[in-house]
Structure 1
Amino acid sequence: MDEQKDDQTDQDDSTNNSEKKQSLTACLLCAAFFGSLGSSFLYGYNLSVVNAPALYIKAFYNKTWIERYGEPISAETVTLLWSITVSIFSIGGLFGALSATLIIKVLGRKGTLLLNNSFAVIAAVLLSLGEMSRSFEMLIIGRLIMGVDSGIALSALPMYLGEISPKHFRGMIGQFNSILICLGVFTGQVLGLPELLGQESTWIYLFSFLALPAMLQLCVLPFLPESPRYLLMERRDEAGAEKAFQRFLGKKDVSQELEEVHMESRAQDKLHTVSVLQLLKSPAVRWQLITVIITMACYQLCGLNAIWYYTNGILREAGFTESILPYITLSTGAIETLAAIISGLVIERIGRKPLLIFGFFSMAVFFSLLTVFLNFQDRVSWMPYLSYVCILAVIASFCSGPGGIPFILTGELFEQSYRPAAFMIAGTVNWLSNFTVGLLFPFIQTPSCYRAPSSLHLHLHHHRLGSLSPVGLCSAVMGHQSLTAKYLKHG
């Protein structure tokens, strides 16, 4: 009996060692990069692309209104139209998240990503032709369709990345989602510079750019395999799954990987793909579901939005001139991207839970310091520079874990039959939280907040308190013993 245990232990050790010796293949990296390029990159790009041309878009609204009605548009109407233009992206994202499960079930993971590019191209056309057509409605509809694209992408992409990557690379490959979101934000900031496309005559090309990543994905992704787990468990295509595993893993003998999927398939033979209602009622995955809901809500509600709203105001207080503010703001996007890349490199060594809790805890600390520094910003000449450092630290803390890990968790905490419904719930929570922030923020924002450090103090104090709660909640939920063994194995 002892000899059998020793043999089994030796076999497990050799399996783990062989896994660790495997290297990343070009096929796996291409699938992760180009899958993310036409998906999460576009989501990040759309978060920042509307900032640079905001004044020009509002001027376009006013010009169109005069042509239609013979009088200038009121300030209240401009604000309403602009708010709709920005926030309708989240409404589209919610629709996309709700429809993703059905599309993924019919077309598969890769097929869904390919179809989703049609939404990006249509949105790019509408957004680009809106000014020429003298129709601000085209801008609003284009933003709505782009939201649908992002809602579907943020459900299908993490599922695809999680199912094509081996266990020892799953965290790093999953972080491509977060890295490309950050890179998209940074790209939107760069292209929005006045020397590039951030001018009155060229701002429409910022939206034309949306079609480029989508077309690149359409050119590359068809030549890469579908998720082998999807092929084997849902399409019963063992030959296709074997070829997919061979290409992604870079080896001929994939019998062990196929057997693992077969074991999971046999365990779930009596289980069909569960609905959202069945998932909500299932006690077997209750704590996994609570974990995903809380982490995804904290992803949007952790207070990072305050940074994007107040960065320019803080930099003005620091004495930076208006002309160089866009270039200094680029540092926030650069730090965001760098932190996401570093997180992807260390996630397998450190683990998901430590990075997530560290990120939220660090955000709470730096938000607290930022509140203190802002309170003394008008009394000490060099204090604004410390505020700026805190801004960079908050962004780096967010991207070190909370910015990408919630998407990875959803794929790792649920088995195949639960996964589509879990991603629908996660996506719904994500987009509802996003919309809530965008809807409620104008009610706490006042004109003086751009000038008075005391107003900044009040608003950031609100977000600081919001960033403290995820620390305790995530620590309690993610430390619960009923989480799956697979997740605990990854930290």
Structure 2
Amino acid sequence: MHCYIPFARPKTGSMRTARDEEDNTISEATAETLTEKTAELEGETTAELERENTAISAVLRDDKTQIEKENEDSTVVSDTHTEQSLRAGLKGVYTLPLVLSIFACCFGSSFQVGFHLGALNTPAKILIEWQRSSYKRIHGPDSVYKEEIIWSLTASILLLGGILANALLASITHRFGRKGTLMYNNAFVVIAMILQQMAKSFDNYIYMMISRFFIGFNSGVNMGLASIYLSEIAPINLRGAIGCMSNVFLYTGFLFALVVGLPFMLGDEENWHLIFLLSYIPVSVQLTLLGFFCPESPKYSYIVHGNFMEAERSLQLLRGRNDVKEEMDMLDKEASTARSTSHQKIGFCQMLEKKYLRWSLYLGIYLVFSVQTSGSAPVGVYSTKIFEEAKLSQLNAQLATCGIGVVNVLSILACVYLVQHPSIGRRLLFLTCTAGCCISTALIGITIIIAEKGNVEANITTPETATTLTSAIATTIASSNASGGSLAAYLSIVFIAVYVVFFSIGFGAITETYLSDLFPSEARAAGCSASTLASLLFRLVVLFSFPMLKKLIGPSVFFTYSACQLFCSILGFIILPETKNKEPERILRDIKRRRMSITSRCCCKM
């Protein structure tokens, strides 16, 4: 008997509820798992994307930097190649017309200036005695001749004429040209020489002063114009050496005047007036050479007058070749700049209005201030009296002055090599000069003080009985007197010679070239004129004040020049740009960069 037990099934509603609950539980668990995994995947993806983005950004930055560097390098290389090729086309050699033009300009201008700067030096004692007798004859025997004032005025009135000349230089050169102005300027020498002979014939010192004024006018034009003409006819690779020629001839003329002024030459009571007649020699030579063999400045012909054909002919003559395209292209670029900025002419007032020219003018005034406050004027004009006051005999003092003149010429000749040396720039030479002059002028003052103190105390004491170390040293040095002067006096000659060497390698060699480099063509005449005017004013103050300061504080006056050179050394290190072998546009960019750098530093400190 089979028993059948039926399977017990749940009710349909309850089965569905349980299954739904189970499905819901599974769905919730799955959803949570999926959410967690999704969040995890999203986090990993986001982090990975951030890493990838960072890496891509870094790569892009590196690529951009590399591209910019490559572009900069290629630009620099391109500019360098362009500049090198341009300079290769601008290089020149010494041709006969170029040499004749240099000689005509320098001999008739710079030599003339140097000659008249030194003409009163060695025969100074005779001239002072003649002036004293002339003064008493005119004003009465009881009148008092004040040597410090009248002789200083005679020596410095030349600078008053120079100041007037420089005030008119820009207008004169713009109208008559560089060559024409050099030629017409000789008329003032002729007038001055006539007055000089009248002074001797009529025994009237007033004529001598007036003649010095006319010579000053001639010298003022020559000083400002010679450097302009030389810089404008010189090839770019010879610009420094040719610029030095002006100073070579200036110091040669100075030495020539010292030699002919010696007592056994023309520097005696009967023949001293014949010294000044020698000025007719450079006048005749310059008029002949400039009139028949030398061209006008190409830059003046093209940039100022716009005469392309005349400028090209002048360049072809000066360079000795027909192909002067590169140099004409450069002149054309300068002419375009001049027309766009100043309509071919910029005066002094316009220079002050234009910021880029105003800073060049400041630099030019700084240069001439450095030169004139170095003590060059007293050393050049009063060196014989300085040596006499250092207890040298009159003849030894005159011979020492001539020896200094020889050192001057030899130093300036050696500087032609230094100026042309590829690794020696104008800035380095100038700063070396200021530092050297600072030290040497201080040593000049010290040795003259010792010489004077020693000569006074040597008569009343001995080194063993001296009460102070200074007295002992001074007395010991002074006790070694030999034929006309003490050891300290001869040491003063040595230190003046050292001063002359430093002066020559900087101030004497490159100042005029430096001035021409600082100004573009359209402002060069006005800029050089203003700078030379400032130079003459500074020189006038220094030259006129030296005898009075010497009387007031003695040889310590040289310490003031030393302090000025110390100041100029520091200032020059900050503001002076390098101009050697650079085109005018690049020089102006360098000046602007230094100006902005100095201005930004001053603003930051404020």
TM exceeds 0.5?
A: yes
Distance 2:396 2:205 in 1: 30
Structure 1 residue 305, shift from structure 2 partner: 3.6
> CA 1:3–1:459 in structure 2 vs 1: closer, same or farther (change >3 Å)?
closer
Conserved in 2, the CA contact under 8 Å of 1:314 and 1:384?
A: no
1:473 correspondence with 2:595? no
Structure 1 residue 44, shift from structure 2 partner: 1.3
Give the structure, 1 or 2, with the largest relative contact order (CA under 8 Å, sep 6 or more).
Answer: 1
Structure 1 residue 69, shift from structure 2 partner: 5.3
Match of 1:241 in 2: 311
Q: 1:413 is aligned with what amino acid?
A: L
C-alpha distance after superposition, 1:216-269 (max 9, x if no partner): 111111120000011111222211111110111121101111111111112222
> CA 1:435–1:5 in structure 2 vs 1: closer, same or farther (change >3 Å)?
closer
Q: 2:543 is aligned with what amino acid?
A: G
1:341 correspondence with 2:413? yes
C-alpha distance after superposition, 1:313-342 (max 9, x if no partner): 665587754333222221110111111111
Match of 1:167 in 2: 236
1:283 correspondence with 2:349? no
Distance 1:209 1:34 in 2: 17
1:35 correspondence with 2:35? no
Match of 1:97 in 2: 166
Structure 1 residue 164, shift from structure 2 partner: 0.5
Distance 1:144 1:402 in 2: 25
Q: 2:111 is aligned with what amino acid?
A: F
Match of 2:223 in 1: 154
Structure 1 residue 5, shift from structure 2 partner: 8.8
Gaps of 5+ in 1: 450-454
> CA 1:466–1:309 in structure 2 vs 1: closer, same or farther (change >3 Å)?
farther
Match of 1:307 in 2: 379
Distance 2:205 2:495 in 1: 38
Matches within 5 A, 1:221-370: 221-222=290-291, 223-270=293-340, 271-272=342-343, 273-308=345-380, 311-312=383-384, 315=387, 320-349=392-421, 350-370=424-444
Distance 1:368 1:5 in 2: 46
Higher-Rg member (1/2): 2
Distance 1:405 1:269 in 2: 29
Q: Secondary structure at the match of 2:200?
A: coil
Distance 1:86 1:317 in 2: 19
Structure 1 residue 387, shift from structure 2 partner: 3.0
Q: Indicate which of 479, 486, 503 corresponds to 1:398.
A: 503
C-alpha distance after superposition, 1:254-302 (max 9, x if no partner): 1111111111112222322122111012112232221111001111111
Worse overlay, 53-62 or 432-441: 53-62
Match of 1:452 in 2: none
Distance 1:486 1:399 in 2: 24
Conserved in 2, the CA contact under 8 Å of 1:292 and 1:406?
A: no
Q: 2:252 is aligned with what amino acid?
A: L
Match of 1:16 in 2: 87
Q: 2:572 is aligned with what amino acid?
A: C
Q: Secondary structure at the match of 2:521?
A: coil
Structure 1 residue 418, shift from structure 2 partner: 1.3
Worse overlay, 206-215 or 164-173: 206-215
Q: Indicate which of 173, 180, 183 corresponds to 2:249.
A: 180
> CA 1:138–1:302 in structure 2 vs 1: closer, same or farther (change >3 Å)?
same
Match of 2:276 in 1: 207
Structure 1 residue 73, shift from structure 2 partner: 4.1
Distance 1:309 1:161 in 2: 27
Q: 1:325 is aligned with what amino acid?
A: A
Worse overlay, 465-474 or 254-263: 465-474
Matches within 5 A, 1:453-464: 455-456=554-555, 458-464=556-562
* TM-score normalised by length of structure 1: 0.90
Conserved in 1, the CA contact under 8 Å of 2:378 and 2:546?
A: no
Distance 2:249 2:416 in 1: 11
Match of 1:217 in 2: 286
Distance 1:365 1:121 in 2: 42
Q: Percent identity?
A: 25
